[in-house]
C-alpha cells in the first residue's frame, strides 16, 4: 500500500471501534438499558482510573503478574530444553513427538482441577496451569526452529572441535532464535489468558477473581472496567508487536 | 526403537500407556488424597458414561460446542475471504480483530451472563466468539495467498467477481481455512470447558467441579480423562475429514501451537 | 491496414485484430515513487498472426500482454480488439501463464472443462470436446489426475488445453515455457506450432528467448529495457510448417537470431534503474 492508502486504511479501521463506542454511549444515554446493566463509557473509564490508584487493586494486579511471569519463565525453560533435546536426539524426539500429539488437543484447562487437588488453591496450581499451556508452543517452536537450521552451520562448529551438546546449545539454538522468540511471544499471550481464566474459576485474589466477584455482585462498572483493562493490555501487547497475529498491510 | 516408531498409530498409544503408567506409579508413591491412581480414575469412566444425567450434561456441552462452532465458521469464512481480497474490508476489520484477539473469550462470560443470563445462549455466544477469530485469520491468509493468475484465468472465461470469490477463492483457500477450523475446534472445546467451569450450571465443567466440591476425586480425574479423550477424538476426526477434503493440495507443514 | 507475410511469402493485407495505440503503464510502488513500466507502445496484430513480444526481464512485456488481456488497465492509450475497446478480461482473449495457474482442486478433466461449463455447454458435449483437446496435447488417459500429480510440462499442456477449450480468437501467452527445462520446452514449442497450424488463432507470445521468438513467430516485436519502448519489429520470412532440426541449420534462421541478439545488446536510451533495479 502506498502512503496515502495506509492512512485511508487506518481511518477506515477506526470506524468499527468508534461505531461500537458510539452505539454504547447512545444506548446508555437513552436509558434503553438500566445503568446497572450498561453504564456509560465515561463512567467506566472514570472508575478504571480510580481503581488504578487504589493499593488494594494494585495488589491484585501484582498477584496476577507474579503468577503469569513465574509460569511463563518455567515454561520457557522446559519448552526450550525439551525442544532442543528433541532436535539433538532421535530417541528423545521419538518419545516427545507422540506425547505432544496426544497431549496437544487436550484442553489443558481440564487439568486445572488436578493441579488444585495436588498443589492447592493458591499460586502453585495456577502457575502449573500456565506452564502446561505455555510450554507447548515454546517446545514446538524450538524444535521446529532448531530442526530447520542449516546443517552446515553445525558441521562447521563440529569440524572446529565442538562437542555435539555444546554445538546444539551455542550454535543451533542461537541460529533458531527468531523461531524460538515467536513461540515465546505466543506463549506469553497464552500465559496472560490462562492465568486470568484460572483466577476466574477459583481464586481469592488476582484480577480474574476481581472480575468474577464484580459480576456476581452485579457491579457492572467494575466488570466492564476490568475487561477494558484487559483489552488495553492486550492491545498494547500487540502494539509492541508481541504477536505474529493479524499482520498489518505491508 | 525406530521400527516401533514407524508403525502408524502405535507411538500415540505407547505415549498414552506411558503417561498412564507414570500417573499410576506417581500416585502410589505420593499416596495423597488429591492424586488417586490411574486405575481408580479409569474405573470411574464407565460409571460416568453409564449415568444418564452425566451423559445429558456431556451431550449438552457437545451441542453447545457444535452450534457455536458451526455458526462461527459460517460467519467467519465469508468475512475472512472478503478481507483477503479487498484491502478496504481488511482495513475495516483488522484493528477491531487485533484488539479482541488476546482477550480470552471465556473471560467475557461474566459480562455476557449479566446480559444474556446463565442459559445456553451465553455459553454458545462465547464459543462462537472464540471460534470466529482463528477462522477469520486463516481464511484471510488463505484468500490473500490465492494466485492472481488463477483468478485472471477464471475472469477470462467469463466469471464475474462474486462467482470468482465463491468458486475460485474459496476452494483455493480451503486448505488454509481448514487449518483455521482445526484451531477453532480446539478453541471451541477449551472455551466450552472453561466457560462451564466459570459459570457452572450444566456441562462437563460443571460435573468436574461438582465432584471436586464433593471430594469425589476419582470422578474428577475420570472426567479429565473423558475431556482429554474428547479433545483427542475430535481432533483426530477433524484431521481425517480435512485430509480427505483437501487431498488435492500440496503438503504443508502446520505449526500446531496450543491455544487457549 | 496491415501488410503481413502470408504462408507462401506473398504479401497480404488485412484489418488489425489487435490494435494497441500509444499505451503506457505506470505503477505505484511501496515507496511512493511511480515506476514507468512501458512507455508509448503502438502495435497492430493481424488476424491469425503469431507475434512474439521479445525483451529482457523486467522490460514490461508481460504488462503489455496483461493490458491486452484486460487484466491491467493502461495509464494512457487504448487497446482495441476486433474493433471493440478492451475494458476487462473476456473469453475472446485466452491467457496461458508461466505459472500454469491451474485450479488445484479440480482434475485435469475438471480444469479443461471449466471454461465450457462457464459458457453453459452441455456436459456430454463438453466432455467429448475435452477428450479431443487432451488428445491434441498428448494427455489422453490423464483425465482424473490432479495438478499436483503432474510434471511442469504436463501442467502447461493442461493449461493450453484449458484455454483452447473455450475457443478464444486470441491466445495471450506469457512466457509459457519459461518454467520448464530446455528439453520439455522444445517439445512444447513444436506441439504449440502443430496445434496452431490446425486452428489458426491470433497469438501474442511473450518471451525473453530470441531463438524461441524467431522459431515460432511471423513477426518479432523487440522491446527495450525498462521502461519498455518499442525498439523494432522484425518480420520473420521463414516458410511454414517449421521444422526445428532443419531450421537450426538454416542460414536465414541463424541470421535472424544473431541480428536480433545484436539489436538487443545495443545500448539504448535507458533511464537509471529505480529502487536499485
Q: Mean pLDDT, consecutive 10-residue segments, chain B of 260 residues?
A: 64 83 85 79 83 85 92 95 89 79 72 76 88 91 91 92 91 92 88 83 80 84 88 90 88 45
CB contacts, 8 Å: C152 with chain B: none
Task: Say whether C147 and B248 touch across the interface (CB within 8 A).
Answer: yes
pLDDT for position C177: 94
**Share in percent of chain B as helix, strand, coil (round to 5):** 80, 0, 20
CB contacts, 8 Å: B157 with chain C: 91, 114-115, 118-119, 166
Name chain A's partners: 3 or more CB pairs within 8 A: B, C
How many degrees, rounded to 5, is the angle at CA B43 between CA B41 and CA B49? Answer: 100
How big is chain C, counted in residues?
277
Asked if the C-beta of C163 comes within 8 angstroms of chain B's C-beta atoms, the answer is: yes
Task: Say whether C101 and B174 touch across the interface (CB within 8 A).
Answer: no
CB contacts, 8 Å: A94 with chain B: 1-2, 5, 11
Task: Say whether B107 and A116 touch across the interface (CB within 8 A).
Answer: no
What is the band of A4 on the pLDDT scale with cuts at 50, 70, 90?
low
Task: Say whether B232 and A102 touch across the interface (CB within 8 A).
Answer: yes
Average pLDDT, consecutive stretches of 10 residues, N- to C-terminus, chain C (277 residues): 44 68 88 86 93 90 93 93 91 92 93 89 90 92 94 94 92 93 92 90 94 95 89 92 91 95 76 45
Measure in Å the smallest separation between the Cα of C21 and chain A Cα atoms.
Answer: 29
Task: Examine residue B112 and state whether it is found in any structural domain, yes or no.
Answer: yes
Name chain C's partners: 3 or more CB pairs within 8 A: A, B
CB contacts, 8 Å: A110 with chain B: 193, 208, 223-224, 227-228, 231
Measure in Å the smallest separation between the Cα of A4 and chain C Cα atoms.
Answer: 9
Task: Examine residue B9 and state whether it is found in any structural domain, yes or no.
Answer: no
Is the preceding omega at residue B107 within 30 degrees of 0, hence cis? no
Q: Please state, in angstroms and rounded to a whole number, the distance separating the CA atoms of residues B178 and B75.
A: 14
Task: Say if CB C207 and CB C42 are below 8 A apart.
Answer: no
Closest residue of C to B148, CA-based?
C101
pLDDT for position A227: 66
CB contacts, 8 Å: B199 with chain A: none
Residue A239 to residues A21, A196, A236, C106, C161, Cα–Cα distance (Å): 20, 21, 5, 42, 50
How many degrees, rounded to 5, is the angle at CA B123 between CA B119 and CA B128? Answer: 140
How many degrees, rounded to 5, is the angle at CA A244 between CA A243 and CA A245? Answer: 85
Structural domains of chain A, with CATH: 55-239 (1.10.3720.10)
Closest CA to A104 of A190, A181, A185: A190
pLDDT for position B90: 87
Q: Please state, in angstroms and rounded to a whole number, the distance separating the CA atoms of residues C159 and C188.
A: 12
CB contacts, 8 Å: B38 with chain A: none
State the angle between helix axes of B109-116 and A207-216 in degrees (0 to 180), rounded to the nearest 10.
10
pLDDT for position A226: 67
Asked if the C-beta of C97 comes within 8 angstroms of chain B's C-beta atoms, the answer is: yes
Measure in Å the smallest separation between the Cα of B192 and chain C Cα atoms.
Answer: 34
What is the band of A242 on the pLDDT scale with cuts at 50, 70, 90?
very low
Closest residue of B to C145, CA-based?
B248
- A/C interface, count of CB pairs below 8 Å: 6
Task: Say whether C168 and B150 touch across the interface (CB within 8 A).
Answer: no
Residue B33 to residues A119, A120, A123, A210, Cα–Cα distance (Å): 12, 12, 20, 30
State the angle between helix axes of A90-103 and A55-88 in degrees (0 to 180), rounded to the nearest 10.
130
CATH number at residue B92: 1.10.3720.10
- H or E element at residue B225: helix B217-245
Measure in Å the smallest separation between the Cα of A110 and chain B Cα atoms.
Answer: 6
CB contacts, 8 Å: B160 with chain C: none
pLDDT for position A173: 87
Task: Examine residue B201 and state whether it is found in any structural domain, yes or no.
Answer: yes
Task: Examine residue B87 and state whether it is found in any structural domain, yes or no.
Answer: yes
| Max avg pLDDT among A39-43, A222-226, B252-256, C33-37 | C33-37
pLDDT for position A246: 38
CB contacts, 8 Å: B113 with chain A: 215
Structure confidence by residue, pLDDT tens digits, C9-25 = 444 444 688 999 999 99
Per the structure, the complete domain to which residue B225 belongs is given by: 30-245
Residue A98 to residues B166, B190, C97, Cα–Cα distance (Å): 38, 21, 44
Task: Say whether A141 and B97 touch across the interface (CB within 8 A).
Answer: no
Top residue of A71, A72, A119, A197 to mutate, by most chain B CBs within 10 Å, is A197
Structure confidence by residue, pLDDT tens digits, A91-133 = 898 889 888 888 888 888 888 888 888 888 888 999 999 999 9
Top residue of A1, A2, A4, A9 to mutate, by most chain C CBs within 10 Å, is A2
Closest residue of A to B190, CA-based?
A107
Q: Please state, in angstroms and rounded to a whole number, the distance separating the CA atoms of residues A88 and A147.
A: 9
CB contacts, 8 Å: A211 with chain B: 107, 110
Task: Say whether B150 and C101 touch across the interface (CB within 8 A).
Answer: yes
Structure confidence by residue, pLDDT tens digits, B161-217 = 899 989 999 999 999 999 899 888 988 888 888 888 877 777 888 888 888 888 888
CB contacts, 8 Å: C30 with chain A: 1-2
Task: Examine residue B150 and state whether it is found in any structural domain, yes or no.
Answer: yes
The larger pLDDT score, comparing residue A21 to residue C192, is at: C192
For B137-184, the three-class secondary structure string (H helix, E strand, C coil) is HHHHHHHHCCCHHHHHHHHHCCCCHHHHHHHHHHHHHHHHHHHHHHHH
Task: Say whether C28 and A3 touch across the interface (CB within 8 A).
Answer: no
Task: Say whether C32 and A1 touch across the interface (CB within 8 A).
Answer: no
Task: Say whether A249 and B102 touch across the interface (CB within 8 A).
Answer: no
Complex-level ipTM beyond the 0.95 threshold: no
What is the band of A27 on the pLDDT scale with cuts at 50, 70, 90?
confident
Handedness of CA B235, B239, B245, B251 (dihedral sign): positive
Q: Please state, in angstroms and rounded to a whole number, the distance separating the CA atoms of residues A143 and A99.
A: 14
Task: Examine residue B140 and state whether it is found in any structural domain, yes or no.
Answer: yes
CB contacts, 8 Å: A248 with chain C: none
Task: Examine residue B2 and state whether it is found in any structural domain, yes or no.
Answer: no
Structure confidence by residue, pLDDT tens digits, A139-151 = 999 999 998 888 8
Measure in Å the smallest separation between the Cα of C33 and chain A Cα atoms.
Answer: 9
Name chain B's partners: 3 or more CB pairs within 8 A: A, C
State the angle between helix axes of B148-156 and C152-165 in degrees (0 to 180), rounded to the nearest 10.
30
Domains in chain B: how many in total?
1
Q: Please state, in angstroms and rounded to a whole number, the distance separating the CA atoms of residues A23 and A28.
A: 9
Measure in Å the smallest separation between the Cα of B59 and chain C Cα atoms.
Answer: 36
Cell of A200: 476466574
Closest residue of C to A250, CA-based?
C30
What is the band of A221 on the pLDDT scale with cuts at 50, 70, 90?
low
Handedness of CA C83, C84, C88, C89 (dihedral sign): negative
Residues whose CB falls within 8 Å of the CB of residue A197, separated by 6 or more in sequence, listed in order = A109, A208, B104, B106, B107, B194, B198, B260
Measure in Å the smallest separation between the Cα of A246 and chain C Cα atoms.
Answer: 20
Q: How far is CA A76 from the centre of its chain?
A: 13
Question: Does position A231 have pLDDT exceeding 80, yes or no?
Answer: no
Closest residue of C to A1, CA-based?
C30
State the angle between helix axes of B204-213 and A112-119 in degrees (0 to 180), rounded to the nearest 10.
10
Closest residue of A to B98, CA-based?
A246
pLDDT for position B237: 92
CB contacts, 8 Å: B245 with chain C: none
Q: Please state, in angstroms and rounded to a whole number, the distance separating the CA atoms of residues B120 and B122.
A: 6
pLDDT for position A233: 63
- H or E element at residue A73: helix A55-88
Amino acid at each position: 500500500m502506498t502512503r496515502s492508502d495506509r492512512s485511508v486504511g487506518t481511518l477506515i479501521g477506526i470506524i468499527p471501534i468508534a461505531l461500537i463506542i458510539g452505539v454504547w454511549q447512545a444506548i446508555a444515554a437513552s436509558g434503553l438499558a438500566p445503568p446497572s446493566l450498561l453504564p456509560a463509557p465515561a463512567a467506566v473509564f472514570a472508575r478504571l482510573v480510580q481503581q488504578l490508584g487504589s493499593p488494594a487493586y494494585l495488589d491484585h494486579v501484582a498477584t496476577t503478574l507474579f503468577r503469569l511471569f513465574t509460569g511463563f519463565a518455567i515454561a520457557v525453560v522446559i519448552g526450550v530444553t525439551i525442544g532442543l533435546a528433541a532436535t539433538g536426539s532421535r530417541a528423545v524426539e521419538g518419545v516427545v513427538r507422540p506425547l505432544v500429539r496426544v497431549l496437544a488437543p487436550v484442553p489443558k484447562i481440564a487439568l486445572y482441577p488436578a493441579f488444585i487437588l495436588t498443589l492447592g488453591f493458591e499460586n502453585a496450581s495456577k502457575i502449573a496451569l500456565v506452564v502446561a499451556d505455555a510450554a507447548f508452543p515454546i517446545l514446538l517452536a524450538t524444535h521446529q526452529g532448531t530442526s530447520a537450521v542449516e546443517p552446515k552451520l553445525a558441521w562447521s562448529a563440529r569440524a572446529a572441535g565442538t562437542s555435539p551438546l555444546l554445538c546444539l546449545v551455542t550454535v543451533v539454538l542461537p541460529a533458531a532464535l527468531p523461531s524460538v522468540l515467536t513461540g515465546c511471544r505466543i506463549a506469553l499471550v497464552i500465559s496472560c489468558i490462562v492465568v486470568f481464566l484460572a483466577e476466574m474459576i477459583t481464586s481469592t485474589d488476582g484480577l480474574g477473581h476481581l472480575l468474577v466477584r464484580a459480576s456476581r455482585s452485579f457491579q457492572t462498572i467494575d466488570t466492564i472496567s476490568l475487561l477494558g483493562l484487559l483489552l488495553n493490555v492486550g492491545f498494547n501487547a500487540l502494539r509492541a508487536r508481541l504477536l505474529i497475529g493479524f499482520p498489518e498491510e505491508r | 526403537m525406530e521400527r516401533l516408531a514407524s508403525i502408524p498409530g502405535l507411538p500415540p498409544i505407547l505415549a498414552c500407556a506411558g503417561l498412564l503408567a507414570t500417573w499410576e506409579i506417581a500416585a502410589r508413591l505420593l499416596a495423597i488424597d488429591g492424586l488417586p491412581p490411574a486405575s481408580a480414575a479409569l474405573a470411574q469412566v464407565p460409571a460416568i458414561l453409564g449415568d444418564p444425567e452425566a451423559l445429558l450434561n456431556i451431550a449438552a456441552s457437545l451441542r453447545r460446542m457444535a452450534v457455536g462452532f458451526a455458526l462461527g465458521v459460517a460467519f467467519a469464512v465469508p468475512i475472512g475471504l472478503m478481507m483477503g481480497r479487498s484491502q478496504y474490508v481488511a482495513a475495516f476489520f483488522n484493528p477491531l480483530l487485533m484488539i479482541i484477539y488476546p482477550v480470552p473469550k471465556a473471560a467475557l462470560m461474566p459480562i455476557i451472563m449479566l446480559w444474556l443470563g446463565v442459559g445456553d445462549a451465553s455459553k454458545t455466544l462465547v464459543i462462537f466468539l472464540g471460534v470466529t477469530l482463528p477462522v477469520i485469520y486463516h481464511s484471510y491468509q488463505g484468500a490473500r495467498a490465492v494466485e492472481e493468475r488463477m483468478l485472471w484465468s477464471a475472469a477470462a472465461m467469463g466469471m464475474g467477481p462474486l462467482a470468482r470469490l465463491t468458486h475460485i477463492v474459496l476452494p483455493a483457500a480451503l486448505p488454509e481455512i481448514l487449518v483455521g477450523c482445526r484451531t477453532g475446534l480446539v478453541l471451541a472445546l477449551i472455551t466450552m470447558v472453561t466457560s462451564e467451569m466459570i459459570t457452572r450450571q450444566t456441562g462437563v465443567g460443571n460435573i468436574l467441579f461438582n465432584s471436586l466440591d464433593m471430594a469425589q476425586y476419582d470422578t474428577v480425574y475420570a472426567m479429565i480423562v473423558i475431556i482429554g479423550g474428547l479433545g483427542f477424538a475430535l481432533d483426530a476426526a477433524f484431521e481425517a475429514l480435512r485430509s480427505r477434503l483437501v487431498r488435492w493440495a500440496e503438503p504443508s507443514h502446520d505449526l500446531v501451537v496450543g491455544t487457549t | 491496414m496491415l501488410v503481413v507475410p502470408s504462408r507462401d511469402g506473398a504479401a497480404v493485407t488485412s484489418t488489425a485484430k489487435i490494435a494497441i495505440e500509444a499505451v503506457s503503464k505506470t505503477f505505484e510502488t511501496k515507496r511512493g515513487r511511480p515506476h514507468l513500466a512501458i512507455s508509448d507502445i503502438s502495435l497492430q496484430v493481424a488476424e491469425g498472426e503469431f507475434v512474439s513480444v521479445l525483451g529482457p526481464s523486467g522490460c514490461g512485456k508481460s504488462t503489455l500482454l496483461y493490458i491486452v488481456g484486460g487484466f491491467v488497465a493502461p495509464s494512457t492509450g487504448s487497446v482495441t480488439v476486433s474493433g471493440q475497446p478492451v475494458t476487462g478480461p473476456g473469453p475472446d482473449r485466452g491467457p496461458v501463464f508461466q505459472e500454469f495457474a491451474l485450479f488445484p482442486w479440480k482434475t485435469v478433466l475438471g480444469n479443461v472443462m471449466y471454461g465450457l461449463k462457464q459458457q453453459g455447454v452441455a456436459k456430454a458435449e463438453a466432455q467429448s470436446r475435452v477428450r479431443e483437446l487432451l488428445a491434441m496435447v498428448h494427455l489422453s488417459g490423464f483425465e482424473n489426475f490432479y495438478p499436483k500429480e503432474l510434471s511442469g510440462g504436463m501442467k502447461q499442456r493442461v493449461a493450453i488445453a484449458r484455454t483452447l477449450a473455450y475457443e478464444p480468437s486470441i491466445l495471450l501467452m506469457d512466457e509459457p515455457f519459461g518454467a520448464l527445462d530446455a528439453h520439455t520446452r522444445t517439445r512444447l514449442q513444436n506441439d504449440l506450432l502443430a496445434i496452431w497450424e490446425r486452428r489458426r488463432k491470433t497469438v501474442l507470445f511473450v518471451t525473453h528467448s530470441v531463438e524461441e521468438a524467431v522459431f515460432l513467430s511471423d513477426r518479432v516485436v523487440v522491446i527495450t529495457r525498462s521502461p519498455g519502448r518499442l525498439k523494432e519489429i522484425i518480420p520473420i520470412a521463414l516458410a511454414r510448417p517449421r521444422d526445428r532440426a532443419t531450421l537450426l541449420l538454416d542460414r536465414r534462421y541463424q541470421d535472424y537470431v544473431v541480428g536480433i541478439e545484436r539489436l538487443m545488446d545495443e545500448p539504448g536510451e535507458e533511464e537509471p534503474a529505480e529502487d536499485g533495479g
